[in-house]
């Protein structure tokens, strides 16, 4: 799977995301501080990763900043993006299942290596719900 990854800093967590995705056989598309020559501010980096997802160059995205909040806000400004800020595995699983989230936002400050692995396990293993009520909620997002 191709996964767009953006971060506004090169930290242990940002590098660990890229390494872990590669280890799992995914192809990261790098943005911001992770890519040479790109603007690394959180709004620009997160937008670039979200556009990869929205325009079909990536299947999913992961955006990171110090709290994860700014990265999620920026990604959600891109049409078709449903970014979820997740600090634990159950939130990540629920975001994929009930919200069909296509971009994971992470805090560089608050995500430990162990928790990162759990979040990625949950995010990558979860499938969007087939329940019609859940699907109707996701479709309604485009109408808002």
Q: What is the CA radius of gyration of the chain?
A: 14
Report the interhelical angle of 89-99 vs 132-143 (nearest 10°).
Answer: 80
* CA–CA gap between residue 124 and residue 141 (Å, rounded): 22
For the chain, which domains are there? 2-143 (3.40.1400.10)
Which residues have a catalytic role annotated? Answer: 65
pLDDT along the chain (144 residues), means of 10: 97 96 98 97 98 98 98 98 98 98 98 96 97 96 91
Enclosing H/E stretch for 128: none
pLDDT at 66: 97
């Amino acid at each position: 799977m191709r996964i767009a990854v953006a971060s506004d800093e090169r930290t242990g967590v940002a590098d660990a995301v890229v390494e872990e995705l590669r280890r799992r056989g995914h192809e990261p598309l790098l943005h911001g501080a992770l890519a040479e020559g790109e603007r690394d501010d959180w709004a620009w980096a997160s937008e670039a990763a979200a556009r990869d997802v929205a325009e079909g160059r990536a299947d999913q995205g992961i955006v990171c900043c110090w709290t994860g909040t700014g990265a999620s806000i920026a990604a959600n400004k891109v049409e078709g993006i449903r970014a979820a800020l997740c600090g634990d595995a159950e939130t990540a699983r629920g975001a994929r299942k009930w919200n069909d989230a296509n971009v994971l936002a992470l805090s560089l400050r608050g995500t430990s290596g162990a928790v990162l692995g759990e979040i990625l396990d949950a995010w990558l293993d979860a499938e969007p719900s087939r329940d019609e009520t859940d699907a109707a909620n996701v479709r309604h997002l485009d109408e808002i």
